[in-house]
Amino acid sequence: MIFQRQIQTAHTRVCCLFLTLLLILPACTPPESSTELLQALEDLQDNNLSEASYHAEMCLKQEPDNVYALLLHSYCSLLSSANEAQRAKAIFNFERASSLAPDSFLVNYYYGWALCENQQYREALPVLEKAQQLMPDDFAHKTDLLMLLARASASNNLQEKALRYLQPIRIRQPYANWPEVYNNLGLLALNRADYKSAEQFFKRSIALNREDVLAWQNLAVTYDLYLNQPKKAKLAYIECMALLQKPEHKEDKVKIQNRIRQISTRN
């Protein structure tokens, strides 16, 4: 899926940044909380989100305002959440971390990322722009932040701003081969009524990753609502539906099935 690459790199990035920060934890920090936080990071590196979340929560019981534990717990909760209520709680905790450390690059970066993951792009953009202002000169993942900024800008139909972030990414490796670059370019083309270009960008995204469910969905909608090509729309919807296998995708699958029936009836 379109977010898979971001999630994988985020796992590595969050662990490295947290480990660096733990080296400068104040001496007054209770040793039990540091132990729990280190264990949470180890679990996260092993992709064990439930254990990482548990140990971060144990750290918070020792230190309710430990920003790093709060951030890590919220991060794990968002990735493993199965319903809207859990996601909303994770976002709330990211916001709380932001209020505790408003000038922390790490906090603003992951709060902005979380808002994007929850499709709250309007709220995400100012948070990510603040993260960009606070970004250390030696931050090794600057392009990841640019990608998030491009994603939020494109979703808000801020054409010039989104292109300003996307165009430099397009000529860099390995980012030039990231499906999300072309999915965002497709959204921008769609918003300016350049439907043929949108089609080509979405197809490029799919060529890079056949399991890019958002690109399949966007391609289907482009054929369905803008290019008036119902047969191609139906095929793209079917491909999209085949990728929606998780329980939380049930509602989306029903909507797509209903749309396929409408297209079939119409033709």
DSSP 234: H
Tokens for 7, please give them: 């999630």
Give me the phi and psi of 147, to 5 degrees please. Answer: -65, -45
Q: Where are the alpha helices (DSSP H) in the chain?
A: 4-22, 31-45, 49-62, 67-80, 84-100, 105-117, 121-134, 142-155, 159-170, 179-191, 195-208, 213-221, 230-243, 250-266
Alpha carbon distance 125, 217 (integer Å): 24
Contact 145, 109 (CB under 8 A): yes
| Residue-range domains of the chain with CATH | 1-157 (1.25.40.10), 178-267 (1.25.40.10)
DSSP 247: G
Alpha carbon distance 199, 226 (integer Å): 10
Q: How many Cα atoms sit within 13 Å of 115 on the Cβ side?
A: 26
The residue type of 70 is: L
Determine whether 93 is exposed, middle or buried from the number of CB atoms within 10 Å of its CB (0-12, 13-18, 19+). buried
Contact 15, 37 (CB under 8 A): no
Alpha carbon distance 162, 156 (integer Å): 9
pLDDT at residue 131, as a whole number? 94
The residue type of 33 is: S
DSSP 139: -
Contact 202, 170 (CB under 8 A): no
pLDDT in tens, the chain (267 residues): 223 333 334 444 455 555 554 444 444 455 566 788 888 888 887 878 889 889 989 989 988 998 888 988 998 888 887 678 888 889 999 999 999 999 998 899 999 999 998 889 999 999 999 999 999 888 777 888 888 999 899 888 898 999 999 988 888 777 788 888 999 899 899 989 999 999 999 999 999 999 988 899 999 999 999 999 999 999 999 999 999 887 767 888 888 999 999 988 876
DSSP 65: T
Alpha carbon distance 171, 160 (integer Å): 18
How many other CB atoms are found less than 10 A from the CB of residue 249? 14
pTM above 0.85, yes or no: no
Alpha carbon distance 252, 134 (integer Å): 38
pLDDT at residue 203, as a whole number? 97
Alpha carbon distance 157, 192 (integer Å): 9
Alpha carbon distance 55, 243 (integer Å): 33
